[in-house]
Structure 1
Amino acid sequence: MNPHTGPHVLMAGLAFGESPRWRDGRLWFADWGTHEIMTVDDDGEGTMVAQVDSFPFSFDWLLDGRMLISSGTDHALLSLESRTSLSVYADLKAISDKAWNEIVVASNGNAYVNSIGFDMDRDEDSDRGLIAVVSPDGQARQVADRLHFPNGMAITADGSTLIVAESYGNKLTAFDIEQNGDLSGQRTWADLGDGSPDGICLDAEGAVWYADVPNRRCVRVEEGGKVLHTIDVDRGCFGCMLGGPDGRTLYLMAAEWPTAMTEGSRTGRVLTAKAPAPHAGRP
């Protein structure tokens, strides 16, 4: 990758793009500012897919094709029935009444969802984050805790490992996925130094791309923390996803920070860059 070739703008005028996913030949993402799930095609044309009255929220798909949405406002997982109709798939309030954030669905239908576990507007310890697993019958249970603001999550292609970004821990943390859905063997997958990881995705060479808001970049690292590639952007980078016809297009969700939290802000963009290895794993 040529470090002098910056990412290209595919779509502009978003409020606060997050949670990018590649599916059915399109990029899907959440706009937290407008409470919409959108798709964008290769020509930069956007389509609104669903309205979600929540902040934050993220999404993935169940094995039967239904979209599953983590709702921070409702403290629940919701299934999308129509553009404006959502039903409760799993109630998460008993596990945590704090904001629920990112989600990834495993190949067996188990959904992993995380909560930051604290109130960002209060002076509280930030190591209260947790991960819950929701089985296909809608039963939820906690499977990890003591995380420093868990954010993006990904599952390796062989289904054996879940990797989570700890935004306030400056690291990527890995867990072994047990047959019953439990998580074990918690360990630091990569120490990121001053890196503050948000959304993440995996590639076929076993590396992780992570989006970094305060450092305005997207970084590719291998296990252990060695930096392989860095893409600098001119605003905060919130999410990343590999996709495109050959899986080698890296999509970046970027917006001015903290301006993106301001009502009416439209600094959000979808950026693209070419990646050295194609997408792997989930999401």
Structure 2
Amino acid sequence: MLEVLTGIVMGESARWHEGQLWFCDWGAGEVIRVDDSSPSVVFGVNGMPFCIDWLPGGDLLLLDGPRARLLRAGNLYADLSGIDGSHPWNDITVDSRGNAFVNNIGYDFPSGPPAPGLIAVVTPSGAVRQVADGLEFPNGMAVTPDDRTLIVAESHASRLTAFDIADDGSLTNRRVWADLPGVAPDGICVDQSGAVWYAAVPNQHCARVREGGEVLTTIPLPDGAFDCALTDDEKTLYALTADYSNPAAMFGGRTGRLFAIPLP
């Protein structure tokens, strides 16, 4: 395991894109690209949460959670406030058709009482509509390589939940993809075999699980694991960690680290 970066405040939204690792430092308000183990700040963001992904044509999408909007190349792409303008929008993933799925926690985390969250889709035309609800703290999301399934981590329910994806971004056939007793999954990514890697903050590990719940690999980490991303050749897993035990340190200190983990 190689420690690639230190001094991150709170790393989230890890993405492997065109041969480089990207992530969002929520605490610092920065979108960061890692070039040959050297970080460069692509741009700054006010407020959190915020997450990134790319449209099939290569345009960067930024989910500006506090302001309930999705930005494309820095310009407004979709206004999400008509669905929920009061609670944080959290994570984003895009399929190869250009459907951008975004989820909303559903309550004022961490101070408010828990309430169900939802998923919305922004289609390539920019139209926005809700496609799922009743999720217990929807967190990391990913689309399977065949574009047929959306998987979302429900952190409060200790499970991964799956939906079938229609061409227009509609979600059907909701089902439990994997129960993870005692685990609060956060960020996720899917490998080419269809297995899911998830990061778990209080459990301080990343793990690979197949549909049905069989855990194939568990990688202990020194701090809470917030998100993870695979390289295209699947030889390396990147993991973002931070000291989650002290909220003041997590949001104000720089305990966050980026690890590169060789995979067999």
Indicate the TM-score class for this superposition, using the shorter chain for normalisation. over 0.9
Structure 1, residues 164-223: CA drift from partner, whole Å, max 9, x if none? 000111000000001221000000000001111000011122211100000100011111
Task: Determine if the alignment matches structure 1 residue 182 to structure 2 residue 176.
Answer: no
Partner of 1:104: 93
Partner of 2:135: 147
Structure 1 residues 204 and 121: alpha-carbon distance in aligned structure 2, compared to 1, 3 A threshold: closer
CA contact (8 A) 2:118 2:130 kept: yes
Task: Determine if the alignment matches structure 1 residue 248 to structure 2 residue 241.
Answer: no
Partner of 2:34: 40
- Partners of 1:220 and 1:162 lie apart in 2 by 17
Structure 1 residues 186 and 99: alpha-carbon distance in aligned structure 2, compared to 1, 3 A threshold: same
Structure 1, residues 83-131: CA drift from partner, whole Å, max 9, x if none? xxx32110001101210011011101110000001112445233x1100
With structure 1 as the length reference, what TM-score do the two structures score? 0.89
Partner of 1:54: 47
State the identity %: 49
1:7-156 pair list within 5 angstroms: 7-42=1-36, 44-80=37-73, 86-97=74-85, 98-126=87-115, 128-156=116-144
Structure 1 unaligned residues grouped into runs of 5+? 1-6, 81-85, 277-283
Task: Determine if the alignment matches structure 1 residue 230 to structure 2 residue 218.
Answer: yes
Structure 1 residues 249 and 261: alpha-carbon distance in aligned structure 2, compared to 1, 3 A threshold: farther
1:189-228 pair list within 5 angstroms: 189-228=177-216
Q: Which moved more, 1:257-266 or 1:89-98?
A: 257-266
- Partners of 1:36 and 1:125 lie apart in 2 by 28
- Partners of 1:69 and 1:37 lie apart in 2 by 9
- Partners of 2:147 and 2:157 lie apart in 1 by 24
Which amino acid in structure 2 is aligned with residue 257 of structure 1? Answer: Y
Aligned residues: 262
- Partners of 2:221 and 2:110 lie apart in 1 by 27
Query: In structure 2, the residue corresponding to 1:168 is in which secondary structure?
Result: helix
Structure 1 residues 152 and 222: alpha-carbon distance in aligned structure 2, compared to 1, 3 A threshold: same
CA contact (8 A) 1:260 1:266 kept: no
Structure 1 residues 78 and 259: alpha-carbon distance in aligned structure 2, compared to 1, 3 A threshold: farther
- Partners of 2:186 and 2:38 lie apart in 1 by 26
- Partners of 2:221 and 2:54 lie apart in 1 by 29
- Partners of 2:184 and 2:31 lie apart in 1 by 25
CA contact (8 A) 1:260 1:267 kept: no
- Partners of 2:205 and 2:165 lie apart in 1 by 30
1:255-274 pair list within 5 angstroms: 255-259=242-246, 262=249, 263-274=251-262
Which amino acid in structure 2 is aligned with residue 264 of structure 1? Answer: G
CA contact (8 A) 2:97 2:167 kept: no
Which amino acid in structure 2 is aligned with residue 101 of structure 1? Answer: N
**How many Å apart are 1:230 and its aligned residue?**
0.4
- Partners of 2:159 and 2:6 lie apart in 1 by 30
Query: In structure 2, the residue corresponding to 1:78 is in which secondary structure?
Result: strand
